Chain A
């Protein structure tokens, strides 16, 4: 199994630009999570999906952030417009919902830098 796949691995963009992060979960996993990690705030849950349906987006910072999961094998996290404070590592993770999601498999992350 290839594990969770994220792209791009690194993204450098200017303030005001749109950024799209992509994730392919492990085949057969029906829960998908987007996290943001910074030194100051740690690992924050932004949004998660069960069976492609968004369940809880209370962690999404503001309306500039949006996430979609059009099918079981693909999800996107979009930031529009981006701001320097969005600079962070963004992780996608997947799990079997039936296991209580306590064992999640993380992708390698996307390191986003907004200048």
Chain B
């Protein structure tokens, strides 16, 4: 089976940098995705790591290490609008399985 672990909540200050970790116990997956979900909204795709290493998209970066069964999402220059839940998800080619999500609180 699959298992993904994320912290349930993280708090950071506006303008700062925050890292949201994701550890997994699974095998045979294609890659690791990250999604953002605002309260009352739908999940939206942020990034995908098929290979080990860092992928950068603007203020957001995502990292994957298959040898460590670990990945993270890095958010820089935090803005209040980044307050949301963030989900890591493992891709199995034709479907993805989501973690329980991390609620990011941003303090002014």
**Are A and B bound to each other?**
yes
Cβ contact within 8 Å between A103 and B94: no
- Give the residue of A43, A48, A97, A107 whose beta carbon is less than 8 angstroms from that of B87: A43
- A94 located at the interface, meaning its Cβ lies under 8 Å from any Cβ of chain B in the complex: no
Q: Taking the complex as formed, is B63 at the interface, i.e. its CB lies under 8 A from any CB of chain A? A: no
Q: Number of B residues whose C-beta is below 8 Å from A?
A: 21
Answer whether A43 and B93 are a contact pair too, CB < 8 Å, given A104-B45, A105-B45, A106-B42.
no
Contact of A91 among B30, B43, B99 (CB under 8 A): B43
Is A61 an interface position by the 8 A CB rule? no
B94 and A43 contacting across the interface, CB-CB below 8 Å: no
Residues of chain B with a CB closer than 8 A to A106's CB: 42-44
Chain A interface, DSSP helix/strand/loop, else mixed: strand
Q: Would you list which residues of chain A between 57 and 108 have a CB under 8 Å from chain B?
A: 91, 93, 97, 100-108
B interface vs A, CB < 8 Å?
30-31, 33, 41-45, 48, 87, 89, 91, 93-101
